[in-house]
Structure 1
């Protein structure tokens, strides 16, 4: 059971995009969650470069691009697994391919088979790790940034 009213609403795929988009670090970075599938299997966000979110070159601030790659996978996986599991980023690396300009997006998919496999693994162990790669894509379809996140997934006992 979610601990607070805010936790309960962020556990809803309908409310999560609105509330996560209002979360100050994401809001200030120009990141907006655009959609989350009702079954938590996919989601999409956008990143917009504005004067207050740009670096000294006028392109996307690297921290905003990193945050964009970090937010969805863990939320989708936690949404599918339910409250009996904790999911968080254990480590990550990011490669910046091209300067980010204008509006960019990141789409993440977590098939049910992935969540089911983790549940099966966690039936035998208390914790495991899973690797996920996320890409931020610009309006021309070019990869702006690619991040590899090692996620820690743990049973709540």
Structure 2
């Protein structure tokens, strides 16, 4: 499968992207196959809330484009991939730097390809845990994506099937 971007380029670009950089969000790791990403959110004076803990918007932002970009890297140019919906559950205050690990399994990729091969829309849902420096759960974010084969690739899939 042709990769849209190299993981190292995506990591470099996102770490310079003002919404991430300004919020203290840093991509620590992107696997070569885009199936694993680790992100860190530093606790800085400018991203603290009134209670002197991580601002909830920053916690939510650290999860924003990640699953979409991972699927774009995995599926390539044949697919539309967008964030569709998200929900955050704040469990406890983020009183330290935070980390989140994003994982997309082979089973998930196979399911996406199976459902979308003739042009159907698919809405995979992913849950990411955001942890503090002690490994305690601070929040859970559920993200639902929109995935669909682009029209010019739907015919090709139908001809092969």
Structure 2 partner of 1:43: 37
Relative to its length, the structure with more strand (as a share) is 1
Where in structure 2 are the equivalents of 1:87-98 lying within 5 Å?
87-98=81-92
TM-score by length of 2: 0.87
* 1:127-138 equivalence runs, <5 A: 127-138=121-132
CA distance in 1, matches of 2:27, 2:119: 33
Alignment pair present for 1:108 and 2:102: yes
- Measured on the aligned residues, the alpha-carbon RMSD in Å equals 1.3
Report the Cα offset of residue 105 of structure 1: 0.3
Q: Which runs of 5+ in 2 are unaligned?
A: 152-161
CA distance in 2, matches of 1:84, 1:29: 32
Q: Which residue of 2 aligns with 1:99?
A: 93
- The answer to whether the 8 Å contact 2:23/2:58 transfers is yes
Structure 1 residue runs of 4 or more that deviate by more than 3 Å after TM superposition: none
Is the 8 Å Cα contact of residues 69 and 135 (structure 1) preserved in structure 2? Answer: no
TM superposition shift of 1:106: 0.3
Q: Unaligned regions of 5+ residues in structure 1, if any? A: 1-7
Distance of 2:81 and 2:59 partners within structure 1:
21
Q: How many residues align?
A: 148
Matching residue of 2:16: 22
Q: TM-score, normalised by structure 1?
A: 0.89
Matched, 1:145 2:150: no
By how many angstroms is 1:49 displaced? 1.1
Q: 1:80 aligned to 2:67?
A: no
